[in-house]
Amino acid sequence: MSHPYEPTRKPGSYEVGGAIDRDALLKPAQHTREERIYCHELLDISVKHRRAYLDHFSHWADATGSVAGTNRAFGVWGTIGMSHRWAEGVIMWEWPNKAAMFDGLAGAWSHFHSDDGAGDIWAFAWGGAAEGVTDTQGMDRLMCSTAYSPTMEELYANGVKGEAYLHYHINTPPGMIDDHLNHLEHYVPIAERLGLKFVGSYRTLFTNDDQGLMIWALPKFADWPAYEDARRTDKEALEWRAEAAARGVTYDGRVLVGAKSNPLDRGHSVSMDHEPDPNQKPVGF
């Protein structure tokens, strides 16, 4: 079984008339300096402690506001087991740009070079958790936003949230993720007409420009059957999907439900100088 971050098909070539379209591969990337950057985490959490894990994470994120000074929690979700791996947490952090993220990481991991481990972010973040709650493993990937992805403030202002979220890893032929993400922009009005709300699309770093992510809010669980039927019957949706298939694009999807601290669901992000309410009741998934 392949890992969720690994392509589920054999690498292919983007071809036009039987030949590789070198012009498409050699086209300079756009929107590189303005890209917001995200750390996307897939976490294997225990069935026994799945809610306690997200409770602890939520309290810690609210209390600190960030890991390294400029980032903020973008999404805190749990995977619905019938749609993919379980028990699984999905968390996204946002930085304003690549430089801010790497500046922060330099400080966050400086304990590797200290004799006493001072500043170890693991102890800072998880030291207060009950035994077993944070015995997790997982995989993180860094991702950059597309130019048309809404900012968090725009998502809040437009009330974009859902009882569930559709989360799709994207695989393309080598070098073609930007091409597909540009194509995906044309699907946004189609999908929203069919009942979804666009959260964002992202390019995965440290790949051969052949992986990405898209996230949609499902306003009500009851909206999913209609969308699932429509994407396979609606003329515009079928035309868009046929073109994506011709480009060799594949998806690996899962359905997520937000923790009570999920920023989109509560309509605001964590303040950098936020002081947690000691009387706050436990939150979580």
Report whether CATH 1.10.287.130 matches the domain 34-266: no
Locate the domains of the chain by residue range: 34-266
pTM of the model: 0.79
**Paired residues of 37 in beta bridges:** 95, 144
Q: Record the tokens describing residue 82, joined without a space.
A: 């019938």
Dihedral sign for Cα 95, 266, 60, 92, please: negative
pLDDT at 223: 93
Which residues, 6 or more positions from 56, have their beta carbon under 8 angstroms from its beta carbon? 126, 128, 129, 130, 133, 134
- Cα–Cα distance measured from residue 176 to residue 141, given in angstroms and rounded to the nearest whole number: 18
pLDDT averaged over every residue in the chain: 77
Q: Is the pLDDT of residue 4 over 60?
A: no
Q: Mark out the alpha helices in the chain (DSSP H runs).
A: 22-25, 50-64, 98-108, 121-126, 152-157, 177-185, 188-193, 224-230, 235-246, 263-266
Least confident of 36-45, 116-125, 183-192, 217-226: 116-125
Q: Which DSSP category does 282 fall into? A: P
Summarize the confidence of residues 234-255 as an average pLDDT.
Answer: 96
126-180 confidence digits (pLDDT tens):
666 666 656 666 678 899 999 999 999 999 999 999 999 999 999 999 999 999 9
**Paired residues of 169 in beta bridges:** 213, 252
Please tell me which residue, 54 or 39, carries the higher pLDDT value: 39
- Cα–Cα distance measured from residue 84 to residue 148, given in angstroms and rounded to the nearest whole number: 28
